[in-house]
Amino acid sequence: MAHIAVIGTGYVGLVSGACLADFGNFVTCVDIDVKKIEGLLRGVIPIYEPGIEAIVSRNTGAGRLCFSTDIAGAIKKNQVVFIAVGTPPAEDGSADLSYVERAARTIGQGIDAYTVVVNKSTVPIGTGRKVAGWIRAELEKRKAAVPFDVVSNPEFLREGSAVQDFTHPDRVVIGSESEKARNIMKDVYRSLYLTETPYIETNLESAEMIKYASNAFLAVKITFINEIANLCEKVGADVQDVAKAMGRDGRIGSKFLHPGPGYGGSCFPKDTRALAKIGQEYGESQCIVETTIKVNEKQKLRMIEKIEQGLGGPGSINGKTIAVLGLAFKPNTDDMRESPAIALCEGLVKKGARLRVWDPAAMGEAEWRLRSIRDKLYFSTDEYDAITGSDALVLLTEWNQFRNLDLPRVKSLLTLPCFFDLRNIYKRFEVENAGLRYIGIGKPVLKPA
């Protein structure tokens, strides 16, 4: 078992730290956010993530997991130091590496014995070598010759199923030229190694590229089916049947073929923009990725047009009250970073709507993410409170509790019986049987003859 420090206790740092402790390692999670660490020390989990609370409590109880703001102390005490800080988008779309640099320099200022520095943050290709440079620069300032290796170990967990993803990954990617560091990483992930999880051992640059290429590919796949869905509406095809049949082809696969209001979240938007930027810097434009970014933005705006059309054409949103169910960028998370809900709510308000919004986990986040339109919003207490007195209903995030709405009750609470299902989770006939008008995505506009 390894002794590990994790710098950055956000979605990735907390889940990684807790699960690595569950694998039998001794883990200290550190953060500059004092409130977050104080909360964790009292057992308050700062994120909504199914299953994380039990793992944190089990491992703190067993003495394998602890939380601290003493970053320098944690670096000194542990042989393996993970960097799991944020890499948010800078103004120009590139990844802002200032948090990674700060973490790397702190490592250089602190280590006094051989250390494996593991980069888990999603970073542009070449960052691993920059991290080594920042650490070296700090060691030189101290006139210290402490050996270290940098490893790239990108993370593929999805918010909402992060614990399951971390403990049952499709693959573990280890990018490093040092055999010693690679062997230590195998020790860190020993539990997964024993269950024969595929290990991809490669160099730093390839590991960094694997993460960007994977996220970009998934974003392309979602965007592709969104465009096909839009065409389906025009030609009278049903995208769900199309996607189902496409997905049966093993070369294509059925995942990420669900049309919707455009991808969002903390990863796809920023990682696609960062990859496009890297392509431009190296004179190898990533045209497919660049187009995907544009088409995804268009898809978000298209949802507003769809609602306008469904309500009766240009000007029809003005003066309406619309219930919006789901604000997080996907179910089982409270994360609203780049959620399509933001563009949609702002767009509807701009066209004169008032909104009754509800999300099972993201209401706190919505308070400030939607602050620019705060005076046009009513923060509901549940789905039926949101629907009460609204003209139309827009279902935006496919939380389980929205999958089985009492449709006759919905009909009785809505002024106009318009049901916009932007995740295609309902069948048209069941909604229409309740006396509502159903508008899904990529569905024939006219009933088939």
Q: Which of 6, 7, 65, 75 binds ligand NAD (CB under 6 A)?
A: 7
Q: Which of 4, 5, 11, 82 binds ligand NAD (CB under 6 A)?
A: 11
Binding mask 355-394 for ligand NAD (x = CB under 6 A): ----------------------------------------
Let me know: does 225 contact 439? Beta carbons within 8 Å.
no
3-state helix, strand, coil in the chain (%, to 5): 45, 15, 40
Distance separating alpha carbons of residues 238 and 246, to the nearest angstrom: 12
Task: Give backbone dihedrals phi and psi of 367, rounded to 5 degrees, phi first.
Answer: -50, -40
Report which DSSP code applies to 400.
Answer: G
Would you give the distance in Å from CA 70 to the centre of its chain?
28
Toward ligand NAD, which CB reaches closer, 152 or 292? Answer: 152
Neighbours of 1 (CB within 10 A): 14
Determine, following the binding rule CB under 6 A, whether residue 155 of this chain makes contact with ligand NAD: yes
Q: Which residue is nearest to ligand NAD (CB)?
A: 10
Window of 56-64, 81-89, 296-304, 309-317 that interacts with ligand NAD by CB under 6 A? 81-89
CB of 159 to ligand NAD, least distance (A): 4
- Calculate the alpha carbon distances from 201 to 9, 154, 216, 411, 421 in Å: 26, 12, 21, 56, 43
Q: Which residues pair with 81 in a beta bridge?
A: 5, 117
Determine, following the binding rule CB under 6 A, whether residue 9 of this chain makes contact with ligand NAD: yes
Residues 6+ apart with CB under 8 A from 251: none
User: Given the structure tokens 């130091």, which residue do they identify?
Assistant: 81
Toward ligand NAD, which CB reaches closer, 67 or 419? Answer: 67
Binding mask 231-270 for ligand NAD (x = CB under 6 A): -----------------------------------xx---
Toward ligand NAD, which CB reaches closer, 10 or 175? Answer: 10
Length of the chain: 449
Please say if 232 is a catalytic residue: no
Determine, following the binding rule CB under 6 A, whether residue 299 of this chain makes contact with ligand NAD: no
* Burial degree of 294 (CB within 10 A; 0-12, 13-18, 19+): exposed
CB of 186 to ligand NAD, least distance (A): 21
Q: Which of 122, 296, 316, 339 binds ligand NAD (CB under 6 A)?
A: 122
CB of 59 to ligand NAD, least distance (A): 18
Tokens, residue 309: 């059309």
Determine, following the binding rule CB under 6 A, whether residue 28 of this chain makes contact with ligand NAD: no
Tokens, residue 114: 């051989």
Toward ligand NAD, which CB reaches closer, 9 or 226? Answer: 9
Nearest by Cα to 334 from 368, 366, 370:
366
**Of the residues 29, 232, 267, 418, which is catalytic?**
267
Q: Which residues are marked as active site?
A: 267
* Interacting residue ranges for ligand NAD, rule: CB under 6 A: 7-13, 30-33, 36, 71, 84-87, 99, 102-103, 121-122, 155, 157, 159, 266-267
